[in-house]
Chain A
Amino acid sequence: MEVSHSIRERTIAENSLVILLQGLQGEVTTVDLRDESTARGRVVNVDAFMNVLYRDRRGRLSQLADLFITARNVRYVHIPDHVDIMETIQTQLTRIRRVRNFAGDKGGRKEYQKKKK
């Protein structure tokens, strides 16, 4: 479950519920699409699904190995019952902040800075 390398994406995640979806990586969820189809599978990454059992709007069941759904076409994500929502959000926030503090100019190892003579 990696945190995005982009500051912009991390900030978006920090300030919206996308962060909850990102914490669902590895979980099997059902997604309702805008066109009223449903897809069920294991979340690889928010926005890429993997190993999906895809039931399209005509009710046909078809198995897809990998499925990528653009965000715009997602209507609902069914969060699995066993997922603790607040805990997932907190965990993701911690991950994001840890990445930022390590990479930013305030934290991290102070190598090569102000060599004392």
Chain B
Amino acid sequence: MVLLRSVPAPSEGVRHEQAETTAVLDGKGLGAGTLYVAETRLSWFDGSGMGFSLEYPTISLHAISRDLSTYPQEHLYVMVNAKLNDENEAEMQENAHDQEDEDNSSEEDDSEGITEIRFVPRDKAALESMFSAMCECQALHPDPDDEDSDGDFDGDEYDVEEAEHGQGDIPSFCTYEEGVSGLTAEGQATLQRLEGMLAQSVANTFHMAGVRTDDANGEFDDGMEVDAGSTMAGQFEDADADH
């Protein structure tokens, strides 16, 4: 169901509300009303309560049009991937996936299964906010058919390399044993050496303005490491630290 004529505008999650906005549906003006950009759907209603709502997954694109030669007023343009009939109930014509209706490209709009809507606010300065609000709400409705964005990426993230090599630096948390077992013999030797150095350096720990540094020769990839080797012994003697 794409256009829900009897469903009222949502009262929650309204990111933007724009009064005095004319709606033009496929070239047909519907008069002045209020546009509601809500997280669940996009709605427009005139003074008498008549209007329509759109579900975000059906919106192919939206844009700000300031080109007066195309349309005489600046407005928010919305293209809906569904066709309206007279009763404002949309019929989803699946142009994608299964049927590529290539031969329809020369026909008129009516048979292409799209609807063009223009929202013309009286306050043109509001167009940017209207556009941004729609962008934000669209981001809340990712395409469920898109195989790249399915649940595989929640929790243990799927990584092709990890699957193939058994190793990966994707943030899937593992136990110490798992981590060690992923190392080669040389890697484990290195790990032991580093841990030995860490343990040894505990006694040499400095306090430096609250940031703990130690002699560990860690190859931390975080770019925030402090190179303790470059400090001189006693440089921070006045720091409040117990060694």
> Once the chains are docked, how many angstroms separate the CA of A72 from the CA of B81?
11
Quick one: which of B69, B105, B171 contacts A100, CB cutoff 8 A?
B171
Q: How many A-B residue pairs have CB under 8 A?
A: 125
In the complex, which residues of chain A have a beta carbon less than 8 angstroms from the beta carbon of B222? 98, 101-102, 106-108
The answer to whether B205 touches A66, judged by C-beta atoms less than 8 angstroms apart, is no
Query: B145-170 vs A: 1/0 string, CB under 8 Å?
Result: 11011000110011110000000011
Known interface pairs A100-B171, A101-B222. Does A15 touch B67 (Cβ–Cβ under 8 Å)?
A: no
Interface flag for B241 (CB, 8 Å): yes
The answer to whether B66 touches A112, judged by C-beta atoms less than 8 angstroms apart, is no
Size bracket, chain B contacts: 35 or more
Q: How many residues of A contact B (CB 8 A)?
A: 47
Main secondary structure of the interface of A (DSSP, over half): mixed
Closest CB in chain A relative to B168 CB, distance in Å? 10
The answer to whether A114 touches B212, judged by C-beta atoms less than 8 angstroms apart, is yes
Interface flag for B47 (CB, 8 Å): no
Main secondary structure of the interface of B (DSSP, over half): loop
Which of B10-18, B56-64, B189-197 contacts the other chain? B56-64
> Once the chains are docked, how many angstroms separate the CA of A113 from the CA of B62?
48
Query: Which chain B residue shows the least CB distance to A18?
Result: B148
Which of B23-31, B34-42, B134-142, B229-237 contacts the other chain? B134-142
The answer to whether B134 touches A116, judged by C-beta atoms less than 8 angstroms apart, is no
In the complex, which residues of chain A have a beta carbon less than 8 angstroms from the beta carbon of B169? 97
Query: Which chain B residue shows the least CB distance to A98?
Result: B223
Interface flag for A8 (CB, 8 Å): yes
> Once the chains are docked, how many angstroms separate the CA of A97 from the CA of B224?
13
Quick one: which of B131, B159, B210, B242 contacts A112, CB cutoff 8 A?
B210
Closest CB in chain B relative to A42 CB, distance in Å? 14
Closest CB in chain A relative to B183 CB, distance in Å? 16
In the complex, which residues of chain A have a beta carbon less than 8 angstroms from the beta carbon of B59? 70
A-B contact pairs, 17 of them (CB 8 A): A11-B170, A12-B153, A15-B153, A34-B96, A35-B112, A67-B64, A69-B60, A70-B60, A71-B142, A72-B145, A72-B146, A102-B224, A106-B220, A110-B212, A111-B210, A114-B212, A116-B205
Which B positions have Cβ atoms within 8 angstroms of A?
59-67, 69-70, 77, 81, 95-96, 105, 112, 114, 128, 131, 134-135, 138-139, 142-143, 145-146, 148-149, 153-154, 157-160, 169-171, 205, 207, 210-212, 220-224, 241-242
Which A positions have Cβ atoms within 8 angstroms of B?
7-8, 11-12, 14-16, 18, 33-36, 47-48, 52, 54, 57, 60, 62-73, 97-98, 100-102, 104, 106-114, 116-117
